Structure 1
Amino acid sequence: MTGKPYSPASDRNREPILAILRTWFADRLHVLEIGSGTGQHAVHFAAALPHLIWQSSDRAENLPGIRQWLDEAGLSNTPPPLQLDVTGAWPADRYDAIFSANTLHIMAWPEVERMFAALPSVTSADACVAIYGPFNIDDRFTSESNAAFDRDLKMRNAHMGIRDTAAVDALAADKGFDLIDDVAMPANNRLRLWKRRQA
């Protein structure tokens, strides 16, 4: 099959992310990936973690490309991708894990808020949320390359930008999710894990 969308960054970061998810998602069953992009992560992680049902999702314009990747791989644990805009309707199913990569800096901040606000309605009582991407710490860039990336983002669209860990943690905590791990990743990225607070 030709013409599939392709992200070189997804190929570069998939193994470091997978190394962490093997532990974090070892006892998980049903993952919702928010913003699956090309679909490369969905195929790679679902193949490597066959105990999981990996539910991809994205905005409507990205679904055809994701379907190409899923159809070519032919995995039994990757259902068709869901149409999901964080400001719109969310799935009726419940998931015990959420994964998202390189999305928070693309969304406008109100969209980030909306995403976290929706998490309690789509997650089980013991759910965890894993998010990968660049983050600022104490409102400071962690590298010159991240500062340059942030400038590029804002030139593309003023609403984009690298998010601060404290601000994101506050959103998560307000919706009942506490940060339990934060792993430094290659290329000045981080993989951060929140767990749903027990009632």
Structure 2
Amino acid sequence: MTFKLYLWSNLSIKKLMRKFMLIWLMFSSLLLTAQTGDVLQQIKSQAQKINSIEAAFVQTKNISFIDEQLISNGKFWFSRPDKMRWEYQSPFFYSIIIDGDNITVIDDKKESRFDAASNAMFGQIKQVIMNMVNGKMFDDPDYHASLKEENNYFVVNFETVNEAMKEYIFSIDLYFTKSGYLMEKIKMNEASGDNTVIEFSNQKINQSLPGHVFKP
């Protein structure tokens, strides 16, 4: 074999390999996109089947200028379509109750009431919280969703595209179990680098909840 023929042969093989590699990458990308879409659809579908939740939670707040983590715990209740109670029980008492557009905040013994329909900030906060629980966040134009795997979880990252919301939340990570697509952890990331991690336990799904739970 002449040197020119040998060189041409090697170049042809390299071109062929590059073409195969390009095709493989395109095919892999399509498969990954399809798989991501399937998983996100499964998570969304499962979330929409949830009518009520009762759970305990532990919240860990990481602040850059404080060495020690701020840890609190409490209970959480949700009832479709728009009722929720988020209650910190230790080391302090603080409760947020949402019933439609009515928001009640109980700080120790002080009670404050807000109307989400007329208060833009509380309206946005209410919408984010509800959308995380009921699966509507996947359709929220204020967030871009992406998927990754982490140990036993599918992690859906919602990156904020709404500039006004970025002042409060830069992105949100929702951790869903691979076995049943149940959300067990939330991580809220701020633009400053601080974050809040909420881990749920003892979750009771679609069981009847007493009406007084959503009353102050």
**Common fold by TM > 0.5:** no
Report the TM range for the smaller structure's normalisation. 0.3 to 0.5
Q: Which has the higher helix share?
A: 1
Q: Which has the higher strand share?
A: 2
> Highest CA radius of gyration, 1 or 2?
2
> Structure 2 length as normaliser, TM-score?
0.32
> Structure 1 length as normaliser, TM-score?
0.34
